[in-house]
Structure 1
Amino acid sequence: MKVALLTDCYLPRLGGIEVQSHDLARHLVTLGHEVEVFTATPGPQGQLRGEITPVDGIPVHRLAIRLPWELPVNPLAPRELRRRLKGGGFDVAHVQTGVVSPFAWDSTRVTLDLGLPTAMTWHCMLGQVAPGFAAAGFVRRWAARGVAMSAVSAVAAQPLRELVGPAATVSVLPNGIDVARWRPAEAGHSTGGGTPTTSSGPAAHSPGSAQPPLELITAMRLAPRKRARALVELVARADRLAGRGSLRLTILGEGPDRRKVEAYLAAHDIDWVALPGRVTRDELRERYAAADVYVSPSALESFGIAALEARTTGLPVVGRSGSGIGEFVTHGVGGLIVADDAAMAGALAGLSADRARVARMRRWNLDNPPEQDWTQVAALALGEYERAIALATGRR
């Protein structure tokens, strides 16, 4: 099968859609399929205007123009995109979209006009913008014209189902990870019965000894939706509940809110928060191995790929109810799912006092790897492509 993968954002930009699109393309090629990527993101040396830059052997069509901050927007792209798709011999198009994805939406209009079977995956929580989409009507029209709709989690799929109506099906196509790469060497060597041992993580300590701080970690883009400053505030509240010096926090990532977070730390004389910036996947895995608990404060997390990676390394995950994290973390088993910031602060304080519970959840995560391995996710993607082809054939 020859697949056109269409996305506003792609490598070298770093983010959820960018990395997931790249990994999906790579795994489809491993399975023997042919993939070409079309994006409005400039190349690593600023390649624009349709230049093709191979990434891991996969052709990437850079239908980008020069804009401030290299914004992945190009209203001139559809004409050239149409020409390349028409002559490319593609069997199916797979569009990756978020709440604001002008290139993806232009691409969908092009693929539908060409009669190219089209699958579309939503990587966002529609939330408060759902009424606007309903009023505009274009998503519902796409579904009616045969676009195979999917979302990365059940919580993200539900408002999309309401948007497209009962005549269309919205599947769940989760994000994927390489489980074997993220699982530590100790995984699968359970001591039995969930009994904590000194090998079960950094929080383990000898009976009667003073407990070290509970090491919290998160990986996020430092942007308002991810709520980095709110996380610092709620961890400070948890530290007061548990006793000063009971918690430490590492926030990995970069973004426009870094200065705000740094200013807050300086204003409140907080020295127990580290901001190392963006790190490689290998370093991220090492940092997870040195931590005790992963924390995700965002209520608008449609999936939570970083949380899934952390959970695969064994870390208990504390996240918000109503987010996609609840689909791979069972409350009280592999982590805690809480309603709000106050509940999250209380949960973190409780874990600081109960290291045995932390160890039990870690052991469970290690003994029960998640289902979202790329072998499963790539198969689900191929199922979506077959569904898109069937929908397009039925319309013809």
Structure 2
Amino acid sequence: MRYVEEFRDPKAAKRVLAAIARVTGEIGATAENPVRIMEICGGHTHAIFRYGLDKLTPGGIEFIHGPGCPVCVLPMARVDECVEIAERPGVIFCTFGDAMRVPGTKKSLLQAKADGADIRMVYSPLDAVELARRNPGREVVFFGLGFETTTPSTALSIQQAAREELSNFSVFCNHITVPPPIRALLDDPHMVLDGFVGPGHVSMVIGTHPYDFIAEDYGKPLVVAGFEPLDLLQSVLMVLEQIRDGRASVENQYARVVPEHGNPVSLAAIADVYEARPSFEWRGLGEIDASGLRIRDAYKAFDAEEKFGIGYAAGPRVTEEPEGCGCGAVMTGRMKPTECPQFGRGCTPDTPLGALMVSSEGACAAYWTYGGARAVEEMA
């Protein structure tokens, strides 16, 4: 615990906060004209609200909540396709728990399970591989979902299934990558962003150089950050110092975990199993070129899209957001969760309309958990 406590030291936090206030003043940022910093990772969003960093930092800083997590940007059409697969006879459908309650157009996976589909929550894709070994007469499908953080484990599981020739195992691949949507956000003329706090877990796999285009092409600073309070405060300070000094670069605050060039074993597995899709749909962002991954032809036997003729193998499917749902606007920084007309009314953790209220890393869930319900009462 000693090392954790070092990153939660109140005295050290006060010193960093004083430096943030000083640099914010030097920039001339105010509550009316703030520096807008987007935290890309939903884990950072929850840490900001859990530790009250949005209240401790000066009014001249505004945190913009980015894509958050793969569950948050999962289109409803993909959920519908998961349900279609899961409800087929003889299928055991495996998924991580945070995807169970994400609503589709008709039902969630949890509701499909209640209706009789054999849907099982697993902690690793290797759990699904083991189920395939034990159930040779059943089709076992793993819902491959995640940014670069979880992509290697799915790739390694496909490689293992290939070695064992487990013909009843397949992956419904919805893995996505972080850099393309950042470019899409920066290309949006309505987005006003001054800098980024970069994701720590993703960067542990891919390193820091995939973000170079943010500084080189758009002139915006990005600092890869850890998840403790002092990690985030120091990262904000580093972004502000770059803005003050008129420079833009990619810096690594989380160097104790994130190597500059990423994890070579993980990157090799990803390169072996996957290739970029021409485009992929993101909730709130639409189709983004080369932002998703698909399984290479060498591993086609383990591709659930090909096996079941579903997903992009059957052609793209786009679904509209539920009426009044502001998930897309929240994820692109146009709206705070409490500004959504459904927040705390039609959309709560018990009756979610969108993924941002379901996901453990969603911005709406963070607002609700750390004071959002009280905000709804105040608005009423």
What TM-score comes out, normalization by structure 2 length?
A: 0.30
